[in-house]
Copies of this chain bind each other. A is one copy, B any other.
Amino acid sequence: MFSVPTKTQYGIRALVHLARMEGSSAASAEIAKAEGIPPKYLEGILGQLKTAGLVHSERGKNGGYRLARSASDLRMIEIVEALEGEVKPVGCLDDSAVCAQGDCCLPRIFWVGLKGAIDGYLESKTLLDVIES
């Protein structure tokens, strides 16, 4: 239950790698080799992280990726949401009047609470915390 997709695990490991570069950049293929991540797959993952503004990139020879911010300023929830979208245990989290009958939406508050517990943890941790743990 609640297993984390490889995409997210790969993404975090890639960011850990970048955080250790101390400001200099690393190429996708280089990270992939060091971390044991399928190279082509990682390209896409880094693309998503770039779109979300978590990393910067430079093309061409000597190009590569680097963190957009310091590791202490990168919250884990940003990373997770960039790669997999918002934490959303069930579809009807917001809308309290979806179901006309039955107990369909009764557990809604319960799921909202679960989202709160998960979000709270992910917001409390930064990339630096992960590296130093």
Contact = CB atoms under 8 A, between A and B. Distances in A.
- Complex copy number for this chain: 2
Interface in A117-132: 117-118, 120-122, 125, 129-131
Contacts of A133: 106-107, 109-110
Interface residues of A, number: 45
Nearest to A20: B103
DSSP majority for the A interface? helix
Contacts of A121: 113-114, 117
In this complex, the member of A12, A34, A86, A102 whose beta carbon has the largest number of chain B beta carbons within 10 angstroms is A102
Interface string A21-38: 000000000000011100
